[in-house]
Amino acid sequence: MSATRLPGTPRLLRALNDRAALELLLERGPLTRARLGELTGLSKVTASQLVERLEERGLVSRVGEQAGGRGPNAQLYAVRPSSAHVVGVDVGPDRVVAACADITGAVIGRVEQSTRDTDDPVGVVHNAVVQAASSAQAQLSSVRRIVLGTPGLVDPGTGDITFAFNLPRWHSGLLAALRDDLHTPVVFENDVNLAAVAEAQSGAAQGLSDFVLVWVGAGVGLAIMLGGRLHHGSSGAAGEIGYLPVPGAPIPRDVSRRAKPAFQQLVGGDSVRAVAREHGYPDADAADAVRAAVADGANGGAMLDELARRLALGVASTCVVLDPPLVVLAGEVGQAGGAALAERVQQEVAAITLVRPRVVPTGLTEEPILHGALRTALDAVRDEVFGSTVG
């Protein structure tokens, strides 16, 4: 038998063509059969068969007509939004935000709930997911995947939470409980990692396959994107830069006692507020203080210089190992510092190391963790739905 003959090739080609057509419809909006044929390189007959196949499977629908020259108007086709839904969830110590998107990526439902008066994480997530789907007028059965962004460590092997400093009731075994409760695939992901996914999709890291994102807020964290994929590490702890043993802060010897690790002591929210007080911003929280220093121009420069020196210790330690072309400063403090803080960090890193990454502020202003959760869920569901178009 010839080694070049591949069983199932026509079926594989149909699947590839279907996927290409669906991606084009998502990217460009409604298209005619003829235009799909032009863009995919398929003949008119093959393009017509493709559209009929996708229409039979409920993945595309007719949404209008396009007037042409002679003859009847051409039918316009688009991806059917209700063919699948996803839910993204941003879990914090005081609140849970959930959003529902259809398969086109349009966010069509959103809810926010307080978590202060409950010790039942399954109930909190259940209510948030159900209400998000309900507000989107989507049946829960159409929700194909739920992605939850959470602080702390997620075990790459089991997918379960192994450590979440700010969420003591979130523990191993919670993933199985949520899957049993919701009867839908549920995925945990570190919140800073999801912020990096959103940054790569529509923020400051668009078009880059390698970059790191440093989250600076109440805590500090790092997301590592290599070759367009998140790097989690063997235990899920990649990016926990709060534990970097940097100069300028005592190094705890027993992390299980909840002592603040060294780099967290230097750049966490409490430390930023202390630096702010020293420089004449006594009443502001961390992000507001940084924002005020930026607004004060030269008068706020000393505070930004000090914060940049501290941040550069962690950024430099990361960059001499990974050597990324880009560092994104995100989180409440990173966003508040904007270009003024990012430029100072870039200069300081270049002054103390051999690497010279570009340092920029986040390009996202609203709910990056939630948007990263939705994007992660959408990518997986599109692979499932679009990859199974040929029976």
Indicate if the pLDDT at residue 166 is higher than 80.
no
Domains and CATH numbers, the chain: 10-79 (1.10.10.10), 85-193+369-388 (3.30.420.40), 204-363 (3.30.420.40)
Non-local CB neighbours of 339 within 8 Å, separated by 6+ positions: 360, 361
Identify the weakest region by mean pLDDT among 5-19, 269-283, 284-298, 332-346: 5-19
Residue of 233, 234, 202, 198 lying closest to 213 (CA atoms): 198
pLDDT score recorded for residue 7: 46
Distance between first and last Cα of the chain: 27
Indicate if the pLDDT at residue 276 is higher than 90.
yes
SS3 215: strand
The pTM assigned to this predicted structure is 0.91
- Cβ atoms 133, 107 nearer than 8 A: no
pLDDT score recorded for residue 243: 92
Indicate if the pLDDT at residue 4 is higher than 70.
no
pLDDT score recorded for residue 1: 40
> pLDDT tier at 173 (50, 70, 90 boundaries)?
confident
> pLDDT tier at 257 (50, 70, 90 boundaries)?
low
SS3 211: strand
SS3 350: helix
pLDDT tens for residues 30-75?
999 999 999 999 898 999 999 999 999 999 999 988 876 666 788 9
Instruction: Characterize 95-125 residue by residue with b for buried, 16 or more Cβ atoms within 10 angstroms of its Cβ, and e for exposed.
Output: ebbbbbbbbbbebbbbbebebeeeeebeebb
Q: Residue 11: phi, psi to the nearest 5? A: -65, -45
pLDDT score recorded for residue 390: 47
* Spatial distance between the Cα atoms of 159 and 189, rounded to a whole number of angstroms: 8
pLDDT tens for residues 326-379?
999 999 999 999 999 999 999 999 999 999 999 999 999 899 999 999 999 999
pLDDT score recorded for residue 251: 87
One-character DSSP codes across 236-275: S-TT-GGG---TTS---S-GGGTPPPHHHHHHSHHHHHHH
pLDDT score recorded for residue 284: 78
Handedness of CA 216, 221, 224, 228 (dihedral sign): negative
pLDDT tens for residues 307-341?
999 999 999 999 999 999 999 999 999 999 999 99
pLDDT tens for residues 187-221?
999 999 999 999 999 999 999 999 999 999 999 99
Mean pLDDT, residues 295-302 taken together: 95
